[in-house]
Amino acid sequence: MFITLEGPEGSGKTSHIPPLVEYLREKGYTVFPTREPGGTSIGEQIREVIHDLKNVEMHPRTETLLYQAARAQIVEQVFKPRLQMGEIVISDRYYDSTIAYQGYGHQQDLEQVRSLVKYATGGLVPNLTVLLDVDVEEGLGRKKQNGAEWNRMDAQDIEFYRRVRIGYLEMVKVEPNRWVVVDAGQAWDEVQEELKRLIVEKLK
Ligand code: TMP
């Protein structure tokens, strides 16, 4: 079972994963949490290059390719072997982030982005993708408040994040069987309960 969490800035994705993993482990599942970009030594090094605030000159195509380089590594080194062993892999972001941020956000050609993503993933698609959906202004406000990592991808203009959110919502419409939308504007506990419920349901 391969589960991915997606969402715009400040959706709270990252804070929901550790308690979710603990809950599933208590239920006896073997769960492997990870994140993108990163999750491997090579991927974490690429993450630093992409997110470094110094790299202001980075072109969107460079950015798109770097995300795919990190992704190809995590797919082969982590996702495929763990899934083959029957583990539940939960990833904080996966290729839908590229479609949302580089495709919709940076307005790169969607067909080209999709084919790059397919190349990077070797066609590995999640069984379940949860969109933690939150209003753009609210999400950015939360992110500033909670002192989370502030990186180059957080320095885009507001319209960029609006396009990202629209992109996610369009992807949900195209593949409603893979996606579940959770309203991340609710209280944190309610979001956590909903995540637990829907993942357990899917595992059945
Ligand atoms: P996060 O770890 O705080 O979610 O930060 C990751 C940032 O990287 C976030 O702004 C989204 C961005 N991102 C992309 O733009 N494309 C991608 O393919 C991935 C995985 C992340």
- Residue that the structure tokens 């406000």 belong to: 141
Q: Is 36 in the pocket of ligand 1 (CB under 6 A)?
A: yes
pTM more than 0.95: yes
Domain ranges across the chain: 2-203
pLDDT, position 133: 97
Q: Is 153 in the pocket of ligand 1 (CB under 6 A)?
A: yes
Q: Is 37 in the pocket of ligand 1 (CB under 6 A)?
A: yes
| CA dist., res. 104 & res. 87, Å (int) | 32
- The verdict on whether omega for the bond into residue 18 sits within 30 degrees of 0, i.e. cis, is no
Q: Is 97 in the pocket of ligand 1 (CB under 6 A)?
A: yes
CA of 84 to the centre of ligand 1 (A): 26
**To the nearest whole percent, how much of the chain has pLDDT over 70?**
100
Instruction: State the chain's mean pLDDT as an integer.
Output: 96
pLDDT tens track for 126-153:
999 999 999 999 998 888 887 777 788 8
pLDDT tens track for 56-108:
999 999 999 999 999 999 999 999 999 999 999 999 999 999 999 999 999 99
Q: Which CATH class is domain 2-203?
A: alpha beta
CA distances 166 to 134, 159, 163, Å, are 11, 11, 5
